[in-house]
């Protein structure tokens, strides 16, 4: 996936550091020397403006608080992980008006951990249904590279063993990294799905190794044919948010103007038709 040509401007201001209960180490604050500080966090805020004058600030409107999984949309906005413009993202998304860089979640460990918990809750709900829409699994596989941090966070959260596939260009005798047994059921985890190619390639490699793949999880579905492609291959897709849900929230929160919202929705509708 290509990176956007330009990023929104931003600045950082120091936040109040809190002591951590680890060997008496305390974060530097209130003028204390930074030499003994383990880590000093900093708040991150946007300060750019759209052409029509609408402020692109990460501060939430007081009247609106993200509910449910929409906290992820707000967190991605704070992390400068969402951009609007004209982007070509691989072979599937050409002239996309929106770019989402979910790798930025690694800059906020708490948010990444919360993503893992949300995925866990979502999967538990599906497994508890009378007619489950999810197959039980004993392994998780992260899709390189975007899905590795999400899969790792989920693996640590639930205690499920993880494997991953080396990229095709990697000169490795073992294509799959990690311990597995033929016949095991494996859940694929990626950060985002566009056309579904990366997940399908991962599923094919896992199948060649004798692993069973019936389900895949992503944080975001870009709604550009990926779900249908996976369904045709017999793989069920579980997504936490769609692009439509994200841009709808961003407009409601006052982060983007209506024309940007409408342009993005029109693009998504053209991709789904």
For residue 93, what is the domain's CATH number?
3.40.50.2020
What pLDDT score does 130 carry? 82
Q: Report which DSSP code applies to 164.
A: E
Assign 3-state DSSP to the chain and report helix, strand, coil percentages, each to 5.
Answer: 35, 25, 40
Task: Please give the average per-residue pLDDT across 58-63, as a whole number.
Answer: 42
What pLDDT score does 254 carry? 95
pLDDT reading at 144 higher than 60: yes
Residue 40 belongs to some domain of the structure:
no
CA distances from 271 to 92, 109, 194, 222 (A): 10, 33, 10, 10
Higher pLDDT, 35 or 131: 131
What pLDDT score does 250 carry? 97
Q: Report which DSSP code applies to 2.
A: P
Q: Record the pTM.
A: 0.77
Choice among 97-106, 125-134, 187-196, 207-216 with the minimum mean pLDDT? 125-134
Would you call 223 helix, strand, or coil by DSSP? coil
CA 58 – CA 108 distance, rounded (Å): 15
pLDDT reading at 32 higher than 70: no
Residue 68 belongs to some domain of the structure:
yes
Task: Please give the average per-residue pLDDT across 197-208, as a whole number.
Answer: 96
Question: Would you say 122 and 163 are in contact if contact means Cβ atoms under 8 Å apart?
Answer: no
Q: Which residues on adjacent β-strands are paired with residue 215? A: 187, 236
Residue 48 belongs to some domain of the structure:
no
- Domain region containing 97: 60-273
To 5 degrees, how large is the angle CA 238–CA 76–CA 116? 45
Residue 13 belongs to some domain of the structure:
no
pLDDT reading at 134 higher than 70: yes
What pLDDT score does 199 carry? 97
| Range ranked top by mean pLDDT from 30-34, 89-93, 120-124 | 120-124
Closest CA to 125 of 245, 249, 240, 203: 240
Q: How high is the mean pLDDT of the chain?
A: 81
Quote the number of domains for the chain: 1
Residue 176 belongs to some domain of the structure:
yes
Residue 198 belongs to some domain of the structure:
yes
Residue 197 belongs to some domain of the structure:
yes
What pLDDT score does 38 carry? 52
CA distances from 147 to 44, 55, 179, 250 (A): 24, 32, 18, 24
What radius of gyration, in Å, describes the C-alpha atoms of the chain? 20
Residue 72 belongs to some domain of the structure:
yes
């Amino acid at each position: 996936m290509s990176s956007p040509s330009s990023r929104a401007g931003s600045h950082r201001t120091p936040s109040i550091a809190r002591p951590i209960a680890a060997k008496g180490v305390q974060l530097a604050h209130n003028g204390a020397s930074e030499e003994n500080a383990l880590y000093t966090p900093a708040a991150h805020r946007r300060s750019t403006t759209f052409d029509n004058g609408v402020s692109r600030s990460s501060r939430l409107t007081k009247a609106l608080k993200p509910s449910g999984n929409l906290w992820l949309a707000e967190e991605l906005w704070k992390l400068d992980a969402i951009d609007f413009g004209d982007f070509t993202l691989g072979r599937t998304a050409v002239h996309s008006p929106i770019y989402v860089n979910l790798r930025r979640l690694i800059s906020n460990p708490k948010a990444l951990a919360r993503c893992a918990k949300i995925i866990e809750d979502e999967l538990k709900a599906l497994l508890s249904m009378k007619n489950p829409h999810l197959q039980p699994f004993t392994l998780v596989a992260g899709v390189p590279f975007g899905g590795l941090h999400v899969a790792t966070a989920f693996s640590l959260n639930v205690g499920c063993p993880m494997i991953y596939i080396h990229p095709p260009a990697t000169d490795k005798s073992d294509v799959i990294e990690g311990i597995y047994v033929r016949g095991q059921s494996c859940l694929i985890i990626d950060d985002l799905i566009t056309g579904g190619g990366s997940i399908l390639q991962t599923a094919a490699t896992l199948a060649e190794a004798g692993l069973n793949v019936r389900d895949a999880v992503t944080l975001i579905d870009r709604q550009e044919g990926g779900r249908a492609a996976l369904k045709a291959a017999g793989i069920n897709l579980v997504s936490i948010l769609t692009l439509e849900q994200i841009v709808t929230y961003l407009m409601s929160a006052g982060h983007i103007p209506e024309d940007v919202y409408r342009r993005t929705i029109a693009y998504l509708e053209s991709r789904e038709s």
